[in-house]
Structure 1
Amino acid sequence: MKLHTLKPAEGSTKTNKRLGRGQGSGGSTAGRGHKGAKSRSGYSRKPGFEGGQMPLVRRVPKFGFTPLNKITFKAVNLDVLEDLAAKVKTDLTLEVLINNGVVNKRDKVKVLGRGELKSKVNVQAHAFSDGAVKAIEKVGGTVTTVK
């Protein structure tokens, strides 16, 4: 066996039908059926086109609006901070939360008051709920708001 003698297995390949190349290649319509946009040259299916019928995107009414300056926070509860404080044994800064997979690098963090905090920790976040602030300060921790 040599490189110049290699060829595909018998029956594994077939030649494409050369459509639109005269009468012997699929007749006058060349496999495109009769008339209509799909039979014409230059046709390409546009996304959302429904054959001339009013598209779904235009039939459904617009609703509401998206505020451009809305700030969305990633919620972190006290029970998550308690587990993390037991594991890390340092102040809970944003870097600690990111490194332990609690939040992502671009998230704005808001600490919420679900769960119970037993260990004294210094917590750093972008926002805090009132219940979370009371719970953290009750056990002797401090709250630092970051911009």
Structure 2
Amino acid sequence: MKLNEIKDNEGATKNRKRVGRGIGSGSGKTGGRGVKGQKARSGVSINGFEGGQMPIYRRLPKRGFNNIFASEFVVVSLGRIQAAVDAKKLDASKTVDATALQAAGVIRRAKDGVRILADGELKARIALEVAGASKSAIEKIEKAGGSIKLLAAAAE
């Protein structure tokens, strides 16, 4: 095979529709835009416009608040940690922190820290060093013989 012999599969490319090229083309005259009116013109921007009536997004009251300073934690369940230990991706003998979880593929990125939740069972004796954990998760970790250290930066 030579570079000049390479071509796309049949039907992979399609010619663009040339509108407004005479009535014989099937999309001439109005060019598939219907008849007259604002939407038949170019440069139309009428999303949310209700014909002069007060639009619904202005009639309804504003609600809520978005805290731009809030910490965003990555949530990890005990079941996921146990699965990683079983798959030999996490070493239970060493201290497990955000970097170890990232290297094991349990989390993609650490964001503002890792928070442990109690979903699933933990059989391994494991020492964790994370930003936060639920009370039930701490109980399960200690029941399995492990320990957990909560980092001071995330403590409120």
TM bucket (normalised to shorter chain) is: 0.5 to 0.7
Work out which of the residue numbers 104, 108, 118 in structure 2 matches 1:100: 104
Once residues 137 and 13 of structure 1 are traced to their aligned partners in structure 2, the CA distance between those partners, rounded to angstroms, is 67
Alignment of 1:40-119 (within 5 A): 44-86=44-86, 87-90=88-91, 91=94, 92-107=96-111, 108-119=113-124
Question: Which amino acid counterpart does residue 133 of structure 1 have in structure 2?
Answer: I
CA distance in structure 2 between the aligned counterparts of 1:13 and 1:115, rounded to whole angstroms: 55
Moved more, 134-143 or 119-128: 134-143
Instruction: Give the match for residue 7 of structure 2.
Output: none
**Distance in 1, Cα, partners of 2:102 & 2:78:** 16
Moved over 3 A (4+): 12-17, 36-39, 41-44
Task: Normalising by structure 2, report the TM-score.
Answer: 0.59
The percent identity for this pair of structures is: 31
2:138 counterpart letter in structure 1:
V
Contact 2:81 2:106 in 1 (8 A): no
Corresponding residue number in structure 2 for 1:6: none
Opposite residue 71 of structure 1, the aligned amino acid is S
Pick from 136, 140, 143: which aligns with 1:138? 143
Partner of 1:123: 128
Structure 2 unaligned spans of 5+: 1-15, 22-28
Contact 1:37 / 1:43 at 8 angstroms: preserved in 2? no
Name which one, 1 or 2, has greater alpha-carbon Rg.
1
- Number of residues of Structure 1 aligned to a counterpart in Structure 2: 122
Give the drift of 1:58.
0.8
Unaligned 5+ segments in structure 1 are 1-11, 18-25
When the two chains are superposed, the root-mean-square deviation of aligned CA atoms in Å is 3.3
